[in-house]
Amino acid sequence: MDTDHVNKDHAQALIRAEAGVAALAARRSDRWYPQFHIASDGGWINDPNGLCYYHGRWHVFYQLHPYGTQWGPMHWGHVSSEDMVTWRREPVALAPSLEQDRDGIFSGSAVIGDDGRLRLFYTGNITIQQRDENHAEELYEAQMLAEAQDDDARVFTKRGVVVAFPEGAVHSDFRDPKVWKQNGTWYMIVGARSARERGQIWLYTSQDLVSWEFSRVLYEHPDPDVYMLECPDFFALRSDSGGMKWVLCFSAMGSKPCGFMNRNANNAGYMIGTWEPDGCFQPETGFRLWDWGHNFYAPQSFEGPDSRRIMYGWMSPEASGPVPVQQDGWCGNLTLPRELALDKDGSIRTTPVKETEALRASQCEFGRVSLGAEEQLVVAEESAGTEIEMVIDLNRSTAERCGLKVHAGGQGSYTYIAYDDQTQRIVVDRQAAAEGGRGYRAAPLSSESLSRGRVALRVFIDRGCVEAYINNGEQVMSSFSYPVEGPGKSILLAERGTMEIESLTVHRLRGIGLS
């Protein structure tokens, strides 16, 4: 490669991308723009990419289309933070500039090489045929490398293709490299749609991060409807009692809804099992969703310097129906950073990282609260920018459904986060949402939680979305919720019976510095 030429073309593409974001940001409306979730200044974002801790800062990259509020030719946007609380914007990191990435810098991951330098692995995308009404699409996708030139990770040099498109062996989709090191060997997994159109995850190994050797198909999804596994991720988790399990994560395309499961267009989840480096992944559980809300996809995790396993997801707009923020100059945000932990009962708990507590600026303690049948109680005049912690005592409550209306505003609109005693699930119901997609989602509670008779909720409410963490990370639900303009209250409600709340605190949250 003529390196000077490559760097010059890339630098120019990045300047154009910055101007694209700035033009959209200049006409941005902030009615639903997040206060404490990562989003681009302007333009469309999707998957979190390249998550890492490098030279004293946390780095989050993300899929970015800088020229519109729809998905389009992908770049990598970038923000960084010293403390995972307050963030600063960084220049756009990667833009299409080579023949092999001309139609998009697709998703990928970051590692710090043996020389201490940050490497980004991404998929270079060439679109040979656009998606048609039968979803037929022809892509040519290769795994590519870029190296950071500075300790702030602001300047990257592209090193080109490191894993070529395996023509004939895959049916067009072959992307989203996730790289890690283990016992002196580098590993890469890539999501693939096999020649027989089955969702697979391929495993490669390397000694130097540049030359990669195919090892095996690590996993093939058993469901023939699942034709592609996007954004694979693979890591070991150790429980407090010392047990160790491997967790295989992917975003499955093609799975059909089944009961409460797989209700989104594509669905991101994981299986827990075992793995030896010279073998395939052996699942010991079925597929579990990372998040039961309407808007969650393409998560990525990484290991922090303190060995925490931290995950970000993308709050993805519905595939069909209105996406109101697209009129506002921006679209898409990430979830809060979440810590993953293996519980002694073998399940994974997903909680907001402890740093999130530093967003709390002030609080209002309500203590114990009793609500009569059909009674309502306003607990915040403005939902946006709050975290509500509450514990419902199910043994002493008789309501059929009880919980919290948020973003409750004019024209009777609201989003309802409630315990539903008939299904014994937590529901996020957007039947009365002011704008955007409707429908409800319902997350299960374990029989142990139900027999304890308590539901603990931590609900984070931003201007246009909610995240509800249930029973200390037993389940999570992330959904968009677009209120009408003007204050949107948070209101407790008990339907057809009473609700006893053991404790209730409303925290007002500060912003993360990206508004």
Give yes or no for residue 231 binding ligand FRU (CB under 6 A): yes
In one-letter notation, the amino acid at residue 372 is G
Strands 376-380 vs 369-371: parallel, antiparallel or unpaired: unpaired
**Residue tagged active-site, from 41, 47, 233, 420:** 47
Residue with tokens 């993308």: 314
**Closest CB 391 distance from ligand FRU, rounded Å:** 35
- Measured from the CB atom, the residue of 323 and 402 that comes closer to ligand FRU is 323
Identify the DSSP state of 91. E
Contacting ligand FRU (CB under 6 A), which of 17, 43, 44, 63? 63
Give yes or no for residue 107 binding ligand FRU (CB under 6 A): yes
Q: Is there a catalytic annotation at residue 41?
A: no
> Which residues in 300-339 contact ligand FRU (CB under 6 A)?
none
Of 212, 290, 204, 216, the C-alpha closest to 250 is: 290
Distance CA 458, CA 474 (A): 12
Return the C-alpha torsion angle 268, 249, 313, 473, nearest 10.
Answer: 90
Distance CA 420, CA 442 (A): 9
Contacting ligand FRU (CB under 6 A), which of 101, 103, 230, 291? 230
- Measured from the CB atom, the residue of 108 and 488 that comes closer to ligand FRU is 108
**Closest CB 71 distance from ligand FRU, rounded Å:** 6
**Closest CB 129 distance from ligand FRU, rounded Å:** 16
- Measured from the CB atom, the residue of 267 and 356 that comes closer to ligand FRU is 267
Give yes or no for a contact between 356 and 335, defined as CB atoms under 8 angstroms apart. Answer: no
**Closest CB 460 distance from ligand FRU, rounded Å:** 23
In one-letter notation, the amino acid at residue 481 is S
- Measured from the CB atom, the residue of 174 and 416 that comes closer to ligand FRU is 174
Of 391, 363, 231, the C-alpha closest to 296 is: 231
> Which residues in 286-305 contact ligand FRU (CB under 6 A)?
297-298
**Closest CB 325 distance from ligand FRU, rounded Å:** 17
Applying CB under 6 A, the site for ligand FRU has a residue count of: 13
Tokens, residue 365: 């303690």
Tokens, residue 62: 């993300």
DSSP secondary structure letters along 73-115: SBEEEEEEESSSSSEEEEEEEE---SGGGTTBEEEEEEEE-TT
Contacting ligand FRU (CB under 6 A), which of 35, 69, 100, 123? 123
- Measured from the CB atom, the residue of 110 and 231 that comes closer to ligand FRU is 231
Contacting ligand FRU (CB under 6 A), which of 21, 24, 51, 74? 74
Contacting ligand FRU (CB under 6 A), which of 175, 221, 401, 430? 175
Distance CA 398, CA 98 (A): 63
Give yes or no for residue 466 binding ligand FRU (CB under 6 A): no
**Closest CB 176 distance from ligand FRU, rounded Å:** 5
Contacting ligand FRU (CB under 6 A), which of 46, 267, 301, 356? 46
Distance in angstroms between the alpha carbons of the first and the last residue of the chain = 40
Give yes or no for residue 101 binding ligand FRU (CB under 6 A): no
Instruction: Return all residues near 21 (Cβ < 8 A) that are at least 6 apart.
Output: 40, 41, 42, 43, 64, 66, 77, 92
Instruction: Return all residues near 8 (Cβ < 8 A) that are at least 6 apart.
Output: none
Contacting ligand FRU (CB under 6 A), which of 33, 44, 76, 106? 106
Alpha carbon of 220 to those of 227, 228, 229, 287, 419: distances in Å? 10, 10, 9, 13, 36
Give yes or no for residue 176 binding ligand FRU (CB under 6 A): yes
Give yes or no for residue 219 binding ligand FRU (CB under 6 A): no
Alpha carbon of 312 to those of 62, 335, 352, 353: distances in Å? 10, 6, 10, 11
Distance CA 402, CA 498 (A): 8
**Closest CB 34 distance from ligand FRU, rounded Å:** 19
Binding site for ligand FRU (CB under 6 A): 46-47, 63, 74, 106-107, 123, 175-176, 230-231, 297-298
Active site residues per annotation:
47
